[in-house]
Structure 1
């Protein structure tokens, strides 16, 4: 943190400036996963990552044989289609999943305590096995149930059994851990959950952070810049939940979609609240899979998913949820095409600014735009496989 400048006798300045630096660190964007893959806990195993990657790769090879097919399906310009095709192929072959969430909430349902305990132990064993194989995604963790469901004891038990089970089997908690806390209908739940993490930390020898889900209209009013600070820095991210949110608003089922204006409003509130705080933002999901493995059905799914991923990217949400192996193909193809489309022009404009010369084309960049261009280049460098 930079030194606090002298207040020159202005009462309260130095204290306010320190609060600003703590609340809005204005850190440069680092690596953030482009997606989170959700797998119900009872279906999760040490084979999940390889199975998802294998299924996605099979669909890719069957229905996107070359850059021409990719350009036709996704509308990728000819100049970048070859690069996108090569990068997606390499990604699916080497790191199909960047962020993995083992779901004990909506994707899992309510089970008897003994049954959930058994699935927790099974999940912990699988995570430890993946870690031992060097195949555990860079981000990983569980999604627990919500306090709003009225059973915090079950939430705490699942989390405690999971993290201690992984740590015992893996010789410590592997890096990249996070936990998703859903349906935050009351602000007080956030502090209570942060307290649960704080009490677990001494047993694990690790600092625990969590991501909240924004999936209810009641959540929006208490999103604000000092929220992460009030939780001791344990709030790492906020993820939008499209289906619960749109259902709570009373939208008809066919309008439960990420590109609905009501969802745009929620995302913009999230952006406004967390701008400059370092809290990462993620969009939600598409609840659809290809109707069959025929090319026309796979392509239709990819096009719709790509529309939604592109909508998120244009609105400044660089991460989203993927719920089916087919989504990996359209996710990576859309993300890579988005970053490559303007990479060279962004780099040239930054260089022109640094060299104090005209950027050309009538462009007159402001300092804030240059910072945004540089951030976009860093984000692209982190997202694109090398």
Structure 2
């Protein structure tokens, strides 16, 4: 068959794209096998002790049992359909009675304040001992770590590094190695140089403490407008991620600092504001394909006292909204928020599971379907089932009965 172009001419031009392929593979490796928690509990360092995890779980379960004793309670409070409430209620209770806290940050920043060097040194050493105790007893959350002080205040930078130094040194002395699931949160980033310096300091820690290179990983908190667009008008987050040199594990949104930096008054500082939607979408664009987890922010409307039901409904609605925006993790400030967190996560999955299961079955050729799904959509649907399996919204047998795909098959499809 005759062609118009010389094969060597075509090959020489296409060869130039090899560098693009290599760069794309390096920058956008896709989702890994690590499990993303559905939330992060935020606890000021001064309040963290050996009983913190149990206290959060017991408070959440006690509140659930007292005020939402049966599935119909979820229908009345949150508007769940009967069958969904019937499926969600026992699963929420089981979750609260088991591994209620999936992720926890010992906070040395805004929630902690500046009590003075002597007190902060003592808390850093003490909380390292608390974590070592959790590890010895097998009680630690799947992921946990510190939120250090930000680098945006010149007077606090050295204090931030010292707190991390005291904590890491004490933890390694007590435990002997860096525990799996350990992560740092780096708040209020306003310039790529802050990320670069933080990475250099983490490298020094690894060298001095005998840790593997790259083992200290961190999340960047998106809490400032400069985290989205820098002073030169450039999109900042991709540069932050690149400066992280493979250490960035997540981008976490900060509701109140961000909305305040946009000039919003307290009345309008909430997760459903359009300014937050803009920031979230910027985070999604920056992190897409990188394997970096996204986490939404918190709400300070707590489900306590006379405002309990209002607080639960508000939190439930915000979590559902976050899920609809593709944010599968968020920050919780109070144990009672675990109730509405898991109710929202489980209900959102259960409501969509039958339709997604039918489409997955059709995709793998196990049944007919009226929707012709692309591989990327099938991957997203399989990912939803994997998250549900990991979190407790469904078990492997039910997932296979619905989709015709066993658990290893769902996990493999989710990572394609």
Q: Tell me which of 309, 331, 338 is aligned to 1:299.
A: 309
Partner of 1:208: 216
TM-score in terms of structure 1 length: 0.93
Shift of 1:226: 6.1
Kindly indicate whether residue 292 of structure 2 is the aligned counterpart of residue 279 of structure 1. Answer: yes
Report the Cα distance in structure 1 between the residues aligned to 2:33 and 2:270, rounded to whole angstroms. 28
Report the Cα distance in structure 2 between the residues aligned to 1:127 and 1:258, rounded to whole angstroms. 31
Partner of 2:402: none
Shift of 1:77: 1.6
Name which of structure 1's ranges 73-82 and 317-326 shifts more when overlaid on structure 2: 73-82
Task: Give deviations 1:285-337, integer Å, cap 9, x for gaps.
Answer: 01122341x5xx32211101101111100000000000001101000110011
Partner of 2:349: 339
Q: Residues 60 and 335 of structure 2 are in contact (CA less than 8 Å); yes or no, is this contact kept in structure 1?
A: yes
Q: Report 1:166-185 matches (<5 A).
A: 166-185=171-190
Kindly indicate whether residue 301 of structure 2 is the aligned counterpart of residue 288 of structure 1. Answer: yes
Q: Residues 192 and 240 of structure 2 are in contact (CA less than 8 Å); yes or no, is this contact kept in structure 1?
A: no
Shift of 1:376: 2.1
CA RMSD of aligned residues (A): 1.7
Q: Tell me which of 248, 252, 267 is aligned to 1:254.
A: 267
SS at match of 2:340: helix
Report the Cα distance in structure 2 between the residues aligned to 1:348 and 1:223, rounded to whole angstroms. 41
SS at match of 2:11: coil
Task: Give deviations 1:185-215, integer Å, cap 9, x for gaps.
Answer: 1111011111111111231424110001000
Q: Residues 31 and 382 of structure 1 are in contact (CA less than 8 Å); yes or no, is this contact kept in structure 2?
A: yes
Partner of 1:3: none
Kindly indicate whether residue 230 of structure 2 is the aligned counterpart of residue 242 of structure 1. Answer: no
Report the Cα distance in structure 2 between the residues aligned to 1:357 and 1:378, rounded to whole angstroms. 21
Report the Cα distance in structure 1 between the residues aligned to 2:243 and 2:158, rounded to whole angstroms. 24
Report the Cα distance in structure 2 between the residues aligned to 1:160 and 1:28, rounded to whole angstroms. 29
Length, aligned pairs only = 375
Higher relative contact order (CA 8 A, sep 6+): 1
Report the Cα distance in structure 1 between the residues aligned to 2:32 and 2:125, rounded to whole angstroms. 38
Name which of structure 1's ranges 347-356 and 162-171 shifts more when overlaid on structure 2: 347-356
Shift of 1:279: 1.0
Partner of 1:78: 82
Report the Cα distance in structure 1 between the residues aligned to 2:367 and 2:179, rounded to whole angstroms. 48
Kindly indicate whether residue 39 of structure 2 is the aligned counterpart of residue 35 of structure 1. Answer: yes
Q: Residues 184 and 219 of structure 2 are in contact (CA less than 8 Å); yes or no, is this contact kept in structure 1?
A: yes
Kindly indicate whether residue 226 of structure 2 is the aligned counterpart of residue 218 of structure 1. Answer: yes
Partner of 1:381: 389
Q: Residues 184 and 219 of structure 1 are in contact (CA less than 8 Å); yes or no, is this contact kept in structure 2?
A: yes
Name which of structure 1's ranges 269-278 and 76-85 shifts more when overlaid on structure 2: 76-85
Report the Cα distance in structure 2 between the residues aligned to 1:231 and 1:328, rounded to whole angstroms. 31
SS at match of 1:141: strand
Shift of 1:225: 4.2
Task: Give deviations 1:236-267, integer Å, cap 9, x for gaps.
Answer: 10100010011111111111100101100000
SS at match of 2:144: strand
Shift of 1:121: 0.9
Report the Cα distance in structure 2 between the residues aligned to 1:232 and 1:332, rounded to whole angstroms. 34
SS at match of 2:12: coil
Report the Cα distance in structure 1 between the residues aligned to 2:137 and 2:171, rounded to whole angstroms. 14
Q: CA separation of 1:171/1:29 partners in 2, compared to 1, >3 Å: closer, same or farther? A: closer
Name which of structure 1's ranges 118-127 and 20-29 shifts more when overlaid on structure 2: 20-29
Q: Tell me which of 316, 321, 326 is aligned to 2:326.
A: 316
Report the Cα distance in structure 1 between the residues aligned to 2:159 and 2:44, rounded to whole angstroms. 17
Q: Rg bigger for which structure?
A: 2
SS at match of 1:286: coil
Q: Residues 253 and 297 of structure 2 are in contact (CA less than 8 Å); yes or no, is this contact kept in structure 1?
A: yes
Q: Residues 304 and 336 of structure 2 are in contact (CA less than 8 Å); yes or no, is this contact kept in structure 1?
A: no
Q: Residues 302 and 330 of structure 1 are in contact (CA less than 8 Å); yes or no, is this contact kept in structure 2?
A: yes
Q: Residues 303 and 337 of structure 2 are in contact (CA less than 8 Å); yes or no, is this contact kept in structure 1?
A: no
Q: Which runs of 5+ in 1 are unaligned?
A: 1-6
Partner of 1:4: none
